Amino acid sequence: MHHAIHSTKKKKEIQKKTKIIAISVFFGVLFLFAGLVWVSLRPALLITGTAIQGTKILDVDALKKNAEEELVGNYFYFFPKKNIFIYPENSIQSHIRSAFPGVASVHLSVGKSHELIILIDERKPSAIWCGVDKPENSVSLPDGCYYVDETGYIFGNSPSFSGDAYFTLYGQGDIKGTKILGQHLVSEDKYERILNLRNFLLGYINTVNTIYLGVDNYAEFIDSSGFLIKWNIDQDINQIKSNMQAIFRSGSWKDGTFSSDPEKRKPLEYLDFRFGNKVFYKERGKESIVPVIDAPTDSATTTTDVIPANEVLPQ
């Protein structure tokens, strides 16, 4: 009997101590939580504003507004998102990249005055895309163009330019739907091939500033006189270059039928490189003739036959 009373008394003491410890822990956690909230709300630990750096094209005010939207409110109703130690870095970066396709990367840091510094790495234009319609020979580009970066990615609206401020692309490409920004005009591989061949052509024709992209990989380079160079993007690019060299290094190109001078080249409508080593050409309003081609002596270069085009060649 005495043992049972002693055991019950001891059990009550343990329960009392446990209750005291639990209450102490509860209030300790509560005070700690309140302390953390109080500290997190101190003005000295809050972001005072935002500063955008690195932009040349993008709208600074729009970027600021986008970032500051992510700083509104609190975590768990208590901890301010503006606190310099817990601000939503990943969320701000993701939000900016999603809203601004022209942003390649975003880096955030907090300055000495607790200003949030947002360093933007913009995508760089390699060309502009101006719609699906085939262009007419005009020095003034239409409104509604878009910037295209070095991967073929469409990332921003371009103002209307005159002359050759940018390499200009036309045609549907791989664009689907009506939301243009954030799509690739063509795949990165295709776009690399387009730039590769264009850079090669610039060694011979310095006025190739426009390309039209047709269906089934068909493409046309267009120079300032309206002269066309037809090819297929999926062709062997080394063969195309070899064939072009055979034409552009020839005496006929330099001195006569295929002059390197765009004014002299105006009567020539196109050269067509889509048919292996057979290169077709057509003169404007005339029956085509076979020019004299002096093939390069370089044995690594393929001798190319230049043949007048009949009117049933595929477009």
* Residue whose entry in the numeric block shows the structure tokens 């955008």: 52
Residues 275 and 173 both lie in one domain: yes
Residues 63 and 168 both lie in one domain: no
Residue 57 in domain: yes
Q: Is the dihedral of CA 4, 10, 12, 18 positive or negative?
A: negative
Dist CA 308 CA 294 (whole Å): 17
Domain of residue 165, residue span: 127-308
Residue 262 in domain: yes
Give the amino acid at 139.
Answer: V
Which of 61, 96, 122 represents a domain boundary (last residue)? Answer: 122
How many helices and strands, by DSSP H and E, does the chain display?
A: 7, 15
List CB contacts of 257: < 8 A, sequence separation 6 or more: 268, 289, 291, 292
Residues 226 and 267 both lie in one domain: yes
Residues 148 and 277 both lie in one domain: yes
Dist CA 197 CA 225 (whole Å): 19
Residues 103 and 139 both lie in one domain: no
Task: Provide the domain count of the chain.
Answer: 3
Determine if the pTM surpasses 0.95: no
Dist CA 79 CA 38 (whole Å): 9
Residue 315 in domain: no
CATH number at residue 60: 3.10.20.310
Which of 122, 157, 186 represents a domain boundary (last residue)? Answer: 122
Going residue by residue through the chain, which has 315 residues, state the pLDDT in tens, using 9 for 90 and above. 555 555 676 666 676 677 777 776 766 665 665 555 555 556 667 888 999 999 988 899 999 999 999 998 887 777 788 888 888 999 999 999 999 999 999 999 998 888 999 999 999 999 999 888 887 644 444 557 899 999 999 998 887 655 567 889 999 899 888 888 899 999 999 999 999 999 999 888 878 889 999 989 999 999 877 889 999 999 999 999 998 888 887 766 665 555 556 666 667 788 899 988 888 888 777 655 444 343 444 434 444 566 666 544 444
Residues 151 and 209 both lie in one domain: yes
Residue 247 in domain: yes
Residues 247 and 299 both lie in one domain: yes
* Residue whose entry in the numeric block shows the structure tokens 């607790």: 114
Residues 268 and 182 both lie in one domain: yes
Which of 122, 139, 163 represents a domain boundary (last residue)? Answer: 122
Dist CA 136 CA 245 (whole Å): 28
Residue 169 in domain: yes
Residue 314 in domain: no
Residues 56 and 70 both lie in one domain: yes
Residue 313 in domain: no
Residues 203 and 304 both lie in one domain: yes
Residues 265 and 163 both lie in one domain: yes
Residues 198 and 302 both lie in one domain: yes
Residue 165 in domain: yes
